[in-house]
Structure 1
């Protein structure tokens, strides 16, 4: 299976490769992971700058306060998938998860009779997706929520989150937007991160990913 990987705000593709190294090692070489970098220069996320040389560039996929920036990111990612895909699944951290979820929702709402964009999605400390229709109509940025918008993502999803993440509420919003069948939740107990230790946490995350892949393979 081939996975598209989207990093968090204020990092880059190399950072996300490092963050997921232990998890990917545990999953083995049956899966291929392709990391796509954001295009919007952005200050380094907390704790990231110290790990890299001072000249390292960090990025976001979009400015979360700007509708045009979000729409541009959606279009760029859609074009990338059209040119480099198809991908079986997506792995997104924080803003990367929000971008993936928003694009998946847009794809389904515009193409109700075609296949989903991905067969499964792995959301890690995921942020809430945006109302792309409102942005397309020139409206303000609005986060989607199950109370106002219902279930919008229907492929199997894994939600890897941390109970001590200050933004865990966003992860629960994204979780709520996903259908109950095929949903797997793993709480690593940490913060806004992809833990690389202890081993038990890596094994737990890997099992959540495998469970979702099994569900995706079952329903295809």
Structure 2
């Protein structure tokens, strides 16, 4: 099995390879595999307060939640991301890199992504479905939303934006940032939400997540969009996939892996991401960590079994 692997924001292909060590070793017990890890196109700062790399012999593990002061010494850069803004052109640049790797180094049976890398994998699959570029996908801590490079998406909503809408978005993205969302209230998914509400809710959540992870300044982003709207530059306005805004779904098996101690914001976005996939082909696995890849033996085995089941399902579908 050949797998394309996409790391999270502010990390690197090397760090993601270390994160996946236990899962890859367990998968390798049942079949011969090749994992292709690539770096994102944008050099970035190290992700905020998340990773410390410890090596012991041939085994490595990532320890989370440690002080930033020591991390830069323990984890050498450079660090990368897939995008630092949400405009269609920025999303397209990351798609172009993935397409180039698939063309030059493929074909691939699967795509594994973590955090922003999982979001990119989902976006790419939503926009490249005929034929699908891989047979199945594994999305770890998919901290969406699924951004689109398709400038025709949500045009009516964007063209209808007025000053009050940007004020509301500014409040949702910044004034709420300190307290965060109510963990008991997920992002809306069903038919009871209007397209405009779905768009606003999804964008504001994306801005809060981007602000939390240090790769976007929410207030500045909203003002840039306001200026773009005034200048009639809608190509600079973000497009997102949302279950209420599009009927497009990922039509291959997907495994969604999520830490039980991750933030309410990530849980909400992960739910949106799952609902952009064919429900008949979705498998979810939860583990005891936070925004991480599981490494406890029993949890690794749960993920491996889900991966093998997705592979078998893809084979039954003729892939």
After TM superposition, the score normalised by the length of structure 2 is 0.63
Segments of 5+ residues of structure 1 without an aligned counterpart are none
In structure 1, which of residues 201, 215, 219 is the aligned counterpart of residue 313 of structure 2?
Answer: 215
Residues 154-208 of structure 1, C-alpha deviation per residue, up to 9 Å, x if partnerless? 10110111232111211111111000122111111321100212x1111111111
Query: Is the aligned partner of 1:59 residue 2:80?
Result: yes
Query: Is the aligned partner of 1:149 residue 2:237?
Result: no
Q: 2:300 corresponds to which residue?
A: 202
Secondary structure of 1:146 counterpart: coil
The residue correspondences of 1:69-218 to structure 2 (distance < 5 A) are: 69-108=90-129, 112=130, 115-126=131-142, 127-134=144-151, 138-166=235-263, 167-197=266-296, 199-218=297-316
Secondary structure of 1:181 counterpart: helix
Instruction: Give the direction of change, closer, same or farther, for the CA distance of 1:177–1:12 in structure 2 (3 Å limit).
Output: same
Instruction: Give the direction of change, closer, same or farther, for the CA distance of 1:86–1:17 in structure 2 (3 Å limit).
Output: same
Residues 15-72 of structure 1, C-alpha deviation per residue, up to 9 Å, x if partnerless? 0001000011111142221111112111112232627646421100111334322211
- Which range moves more in the overlay, 142-151 or 176-185? 142-151
Secondary structure of 1:24 counterpart: helix
Q: 2:51 corresponds to which residue?
A: 48
Tell me, in whole angstroms, the C-alpha distance in 1 between the residues paired with 2:111 and 2:276. Answer: 16
- Which range moves more in the overlay, 48-57 or 78-87? 48-57
Equivalenced residue count is 214
Tell me, in whole angstroms, the C-alpha distance in 2 between the residues paired with 1:209 and 1:123. Answer: 11
Instruction: Give the direction of change, closer, same or farther, for the CA distance of 1:70–1:52 in structure 2 (3 Å limit).
Output: farther
After TM superposition, the score normalised by the length of structure 1 is 0.89
**Larger CA Rg, structure 1 vs 2:** 2
Segments of 5+ residues of structure 2 without an aligned counterpart are 53-70, 154-233
Tell me, in whole angstroms, the C-alpha distance in 2 between the residues paired with 1:42 and 1:63. Answer: 8
User: 1:148, CA displacement in angstroms?
Assistant: 1.6
- Which range moves more in the overlay, 159-168 or 83-92? 159-168
For the aligned residues, what is the CA RMSD? 2.0
